[in-house]
Homo-oligomer: A and B are copies of this chain.
């Protein structure tokens, strides 16, 4: 077995799930062995393979990954420079890797990598491909032509897209993801329906997702402050994909690894990744980035709970359990608002008393407020944490008491 990278070692259940992956290769039950047993190298987990993705994919064992996330070149066709109304120049994607001579060249490229990726997918694996109108129709058609079975097309709505500066079109405010199974017959693909629903106000998740584009501290930059990669995706987007379509310990393949968002999200969520990237400069930035990721505690990423949703926990139960003391001060994240915990599980601002939600709403002048995420307390380590963390602990205690 190849040694796993530092990233893999840090994964919560790294060793265990790596074993699981290998077993899937060598000991698949005969009756379901539609794919040849693999000889040679196992999956190089939590590493970035440098090279052309089609060549590198050919070296990977067949039917070995649980999920593919692919962010291929979009084939943008920019005719000239674009300036904002204030005459500043838009820093456009003009990299060589995004240049194709024609649609048929782009199609040939797409056909190749889709084929190569399909071989590496387990029979119940699924694939997400992201793109814009420049390329996504080519990708979608070729997916269908190769027998992939589209499960959804998903729209990533951007909260803060670049506007249309010339007023000649609608603001290009979204990108499209295609989610597909390996074939029409693959009915047992992973979809963590309950988990997603529970995290979405008990409402099933729709095909339109809202996320901000990747900016701020998350955006990788070089020493001179220049963005490392022109099209870095937000980690929240990848996190949703991984939570939706994998379990902890699963392997996600990203054939266009770029700045390594897939790797960062995978490590944080206790998944394994296999990355392929042509440019060493991107891979180097990705390695450094992933090394700095702190995996979430095991409780936070454990596989989908049972069908029934998580038990409700009242804040009073948390006070009763001694997880927070009556009299403790709660604040919002930025410490603009303060309230005092009362022994009965209500909170108070001066003489005004109510639930964590009511008081949270009241103090912000909003109709509603999720008190669990709004109010923060100072933990033993001195860090300010949302009281939702206490709820997680309470639930864990509850489960252990039940067991």
Contact = CB atoms under 8 A, between A and B. Distances in A.
Interface in A102-121: 103
Interface string A244-258: 100000000000000
Q: How large is the interface on A (under 10, 10 to 19, 20 to 34, 35 or more residues)?
A: 35 or more
Interface in A178-199: 178-179, 183-184, 191, 193-194, 197
Nearest to A306: B167
Given A99-B184, A172-B207, A208-B173, A133 B147 contact: no
A274 to B, nearest CB: 25
B147 A96 contact: yes
Given A138-B141, A140-B136, A191 B169 contact: yes
Interface in A146-169: 147, 150-155, 157, 161, 163-164, 167-169
A120 to B, nearest CB: 19
Nearest to A106: B144
A133 B83 CA distance: 26
Interface stretch (A44-52, A225-233, A282-290, A362-370): A362-370
A70 B179 CA distance: 26
A206 interface: yes
B207 A171 contact: yes
Contacts of A147: 96, 99-100
A154 B193 CA distance: 27
Contacts of A376: none
Contacts of A134: 150
B207 A173 contact: yes
A224 interface: no
A136 B139 CA distance: 11
A87 interface: yes
Q: Tell me which of A173, A191, A204, A207 has the highest count of chain B C-beta atoms within 10 A of its own C-beta.
A: A207
Contact of A206 (B87, B132, B173): B173
Interface in A212-249: 244
Nearest to A100: B145
Interface string A53-87: 00000000000000000000000000000010001
A99 to B, nearest CB: 7
Given A140-B136, A152-B133, A176-B153, A204 B167 contact: yes
A96 B184 contact: yes
Interface of A: 83, 87, 94-96, 99-100, 103, 132-134, 136-141, 143-145, 147, 150-155, 157, 161, 163-164, 167-174, 176, 178-179, 183-184, 191, 193-194, 197, 204-208, 244, 364, 366-369
17 contacts: A83-B368, A87-B364, A96-B184, A133-B140, A137-B140, A137-B144, A138-B141, A138-B144, A167-B191, A170-B206, A170-B207, A170-B244, A171-B204, A172-B207, A173-B207, A173-B208, A174-B207
